[in-house]
Chains A and B, each alone.
Chain A
Amino acid sequence: MSATVAATSMQDRDTKAADVGTWLFLASLVMFYGALFSGYVLLRAGSDTWDTPWKEGALAEWPTAVDHWFRTMWLGFAVMQSRRLSGLGAVAPGLPRFAWLIVAAAAMFVWRSWAMADLLLRTGATPASSVPTACWFVLTGTVACLVGAGALASAWVALEPVPAVQRARRGAMLERYWLVVLGIWIVTVGGLYLE
């Protein structure tokens, strides 16, 4: 095999590697959540009774009953902001602002998830009380963890002093991440709340 000098574009290469890396990471994330959700489906399909305390009492009343729709909106907002972030290109001013908006939306999501879990615990339904409630806590808790991790990543994008082009590229990665998390959340809500 012959070897001679060749010039390659380092920047293009790094962008391509980052793209591939992001997609692979997201694929792994989807497989992880898919395994959790498959477990939920298998347990639910194999169970004669399936109690749903998160759809009863105070949790079924305003405003908690529609809280998961608000949380969906927060995630949608995060997707929108990361899309704006990635679309800004080299226009440096405003980049951190969009990232901080994502962090704020994510924080709202985590806070509301925590509040809902707390409300459920107050009704006496703990993860140990039945398999359905255990599934509820694990699935919603996993999404909250993913959102929290996304918030940290967004804060990192906002804080790290890198060239605007690079930061916009990271915005594109964030956009994909938030889209996947939004999809996971919709599947979770659908799986837990639809009959």
Chain B
Amino acid sequence: MRITDHKTLSVAYGITAGVFLLVGFLLMLLLRWQLAWPGQPIGIAAAIFGETNAPGGILLPEFYYQLVAMHGSVMIFLAVVPLATGAFGGYLVPLQIGASGLAFPRLSVVGFLVYLTAGLLMTASFALPGGAANSGWTSYPPLSVIASSGQSAWLVGVFMLGVSSMLGAVTLVATVVAHRARGMTLMRLPFFVWSQVVTALLLLLAFPALQAAAVFQLMDRVVGTSFFLPTGLAVSNTPLAVSGGGNPLLWQHLFWFLAHPEVYVLVLPAMGIVAEVITAHARRSLWRYGLMVGAVVGLGAWSMVVWAHHMFLTGMSVTLSSFFQVTTMAVSVPSVILITSLVVTLWGGAIRYTTAMCFALAFLPMFGLGGVTGLPLGLGPSDLILHDTYYVVGHFHYLVAPGTLFALFAGVYHWFPKFTGRRLHEGLGLVHFVGSFVTMNVIFLPMFLMGIMGVNRRMYDGGLQYELGQSALAWNPLMTWSAVALGLFQIVFVWNIVWSARRGTLAENPWRATTLEWMTTSPPPPGNFAEPPIVTGAPYRYDEEPA
């Protein structure tokens, strides 16, 4: 159990990111309470967050916006990305390529420690004077530059996360390039490995832009520079004592240069997991493996030239707007190729409706819904109407919550026998799946309706002043109760893990999967393989099975 062993380190990533996932979820429950019953006290809020944040248990607007900013930041930067890359990628990639470990194990440990420190710093910033960051996870200036001290902690944390991502990405790609087993050519890599490599490259090349932006904004906040502060800025009718001359849009360009590829950082590992699960549980080889590899590489590369579709409202020129509308529409082509290939893979398969497969199958329409609802946001005219409404919240939550999270759940159910040598309980798993599927849709589907009615997504009172949105706001209590129920169904999941890890059915390779990670014992020994493997064929050999 050495921490430099990639399996131990990945478990550490998984546990840490899981804790942050819980933190992000609890922040969301507080948000949802306020949206469902604006101004109504929450019994324990005053005791936990103090009278300054929640007098008499009623969340103050300032505190509400801290919750908004930190929910997004924690979920994206500290929970889902580390789960998808550090936990799943770190554990499985060396096994799937036949390596004995990571190329730079000590560097990986440093990366984990940097991630942990950044996470603790960002979450502990609630205790700072003025509280945590409160300018949204996008941290748009000039609001963020004049925000409370928690914003500085957020910026330092984000910079550190960039360092951590770089260390992890360098290690992963170097491992795949240099440590593959003999015979493991690039076109024999499991699709999950390809998805992880592209994800790592995205993190490596896109995160530095946000790090640079964080440096600029920290300078603005700490040293008094004006990179993002325009001339003549006044706060509460008082001119701000700065030189001015800066440009707030510079932040948006740098931020979205990372943040749009970040969407693919969230989605690509999910697609990799779903591909592995679908092939094994439908007994079918991936349809057009080469095309899928090309699509995932193309998707990663293309995702770096679409960032400004988040900025149509900034008054950009028609030429620039047209360019980004075209690139945004074009990026859907490789996405559709990937989803289509996964669906066609199912054709003629002997599908086993295990919990892992149910989550993987549910991922396809959920991700599809998230993707399709993104198209109007990628076109200037419709984005003008929908921008910053609940429609946007519904869109990206469909990609990440019933999208990526369902894929991660599928991965846990699929590889749990590999991690522990035991299977998760299928009955409890199906309860978890059905509960999560229903509650997530009840939470997020009404958001499209609210958004189309024009309800703004950042309103402390949930949008009570919008006359046209009143009928849609009636959904809020149901959505909140659904969020509570979602939390209860996750207790079933956690109980299943705890119980099955000790008493689950013993299983070496219950799915009869053909990828390399299943060719060693479960759980794998230190060094992964008793003898270095030699690869002689494609990763998926299900079509060779007798009918």
**With A20-B173, A21-B103 in contact, do A128 and B225 touch (Cβ < 8 Å)?**
yes
- Interface residues as binary, A20-64 with B (CB distance below 8 Å gives 1, 0 otherwise): 110011011101111110110011001100000000000000000
* Of the residues B169, B174, B250, B531, contact of A42 by C-beta under 8 Å: B250
State whether B519 touches A3 (Cβ < 8 A). Answer: yes
State whether A42 touches B247 (Cβ < 8 A). Answer: yes
Once bound together, how far apart are the Cα atoms of A131 and B171, in whole Å? 38
Chain A residues within an 8 Å CB radius of B92: none
Chain B residues within an 8 Å CB radius of A27: 204-205
State whether B170 touches A43 (Cβ < 8 A). Answer: no
- Interface residues as binary, B163-205 with A (CB distance below 8 Å gives 1, 0 otherwise): 0001001110111011101110000000000000000000011
**With A24-B204, A35-B254, A131-B246 in contact, do A1 and B536 touch (Cβ < 8 Å)?**
yes
State whether A131 touches B225 (Cβ < 8 A). Answer: yes
Residue of B nearest to A4 (CB): B534
Stretch at the interface among A5-13, A95-103, A158-166, A178-186: A5-13
Once bound together, how far apart are the Cα atoms of A25 and B174, in whole Å? 11
Determine whether B526 belongs to the interface, using a CB cutoff of 8 Å to chain A. Answer: no
Chain A residues within an 8 Å CB radius of B254: 35, 38-39
Min CB gap A160→B, angstroms: 14
Chain B residues within an 8 Å CB radius of A1: 514-516, 519, 533, 535-537, 539, 541
Once bound together, how far apart are the Cα atoms of A150 and B170, in whole Å? 19
Determine whether A89 belongs to the interface, using a CB cutoff of 8 Å to chain B. Answer: no
Min CB gap A193→B, angstroms: 20
Determine whether A138 belongs to the interface, using a CB cutoff of 8 Å to chain B. Answer: yes
**With A3-B531, A129-B243 in contact, do A39 and B216 touch (Cβ < 8 Å)?**
yes
Min CB gap B531→A, angstroms: 4
* Of the residues B225, B245, B532, contact of A5 by C-beta under 8 Å: B532
How many contacting A-B pairs (Cβ < 8 A)?
A: 147
Chain B residues within an 8 Å CB radius of A21: 103-104, 170-171, 174
State whether B541 touches A39 (Cβ < 8 A). Answer: no
Once bound together, how far apart are the Cα atoms of A1 and B541, in whole Å? 8
Chain B residues within an 8 Å CB radius of A3: 98, 516, 519, 529, 531, 533-535
Min CB gap A20→B, angstroms: 4
Determine whether A17 belongs to the interface, using a CB cutoff of 8 Å to chain B. Answer: yes
Min CB gap B168→A, angstroms: 11
Residue of B nearest to A36 (CB): B212
State whether A6 touches B174 (Cβ < 8 A). Answer: no
Min CB gap A105→B, angstroms: 26
Residue of A nearest to B102 (CB): A17
Once bound together, how far apart are the Cα atoms of A34 and B519, in whole Å? 44
Once bound together, how far apart are the Cα atoms of A104 and B366, in whole Å? 59
Determine whether B434 belongs to the interface, using a CB cutoff of 8 Å to chain A. Answer: no
**With A25-B170, A35-B213, A46-B247 in contact, do A16 and B227 touch (Cβ < 8 Å)?**
no
Once bound together, how far apart are the Cα atoms of A35 and B179, in whole Å? 32
**With A1-B541, A17-B179 in contact, do A8 and B516 touch (Cβ < 8 Å)?**
no
**With A1-B537, A35-B212, A138-B215 in contact, do A131 and B226 touch (Cβ < 8 Å)?**
yes
Chain B residues within an 8 Å CB radius of A130: 226, 243, 245
* Of the residues B173, B223, B250, B529, contact of A43 by C-beta under 8 Å: B250
* Of the residues A17, A127, A129, contact of B178 by C-beta under 8 Å: A17
State whether A43 touches B227 (Cβ < 8 A). Answer: yes
Once bound together, how far apart are the Cα atoms of A6 and B539, in whole Å? 18
Min CB gap A191→B, angstroms: 15
Determine whether B393 belongs to the interface, using a CB cutoff of 8 Å to chain A. Answer: no
State whether A32 touches B246 (Cβ < 8 A). Answer: no
Residue of A nearest to B223 (CB): A127
State whether A128 touches B224 (Cβ < 8 A). Answer: yes
Once bound together, how far apart are the Cα atoms of A31 and B174, in whole Å? 19
Once bound together, how far apart are the Cα atoms of A186 and B247, in whole Å? 26
State whether B103 touches A4 (Cβ < 8 A). Answer: no
Chain A residues within an 8 Å CB radius of B60: none
Residue of B nearest to A47 (CB): B245
State whether B219 touches A127 (Cβ < 8 A). Answer: yes
Chain A residues within an 8 Å CB radius of B19: none
Min CB gap A130→B, angstroms: 5
Q: Which residues of A contact B (CB under 8 A)?
A: 1-8, 13-14, 16-18, 20-21, 24-25, 27-29, 31-36, 38-39, 42-43, 46-47, 127-131, 134, 138, 142
* 16 A-B pairs (CB sep. < 8 Å): A1-B519, A1-B535, A1-B536, A3-B98, A4-B531, A6-B534, A21-B174, A24-B174, A28-B207, A32-B212, A35-B209, A35-B257, A38-B253, A127-B219, A127-B223, A131-B227
- Complex A-B, nearest 4 residue pairs according to Cβ-Cβ distance, in ascending order: A3-B533, A35-B212, A32-B208, A128-B224
Other contacts beyond A1-B515, A18-B174, A130-B226: 5, CB < 8 A: A2-B534, A24-B170, A35-B209, A42-B247, A42-B253
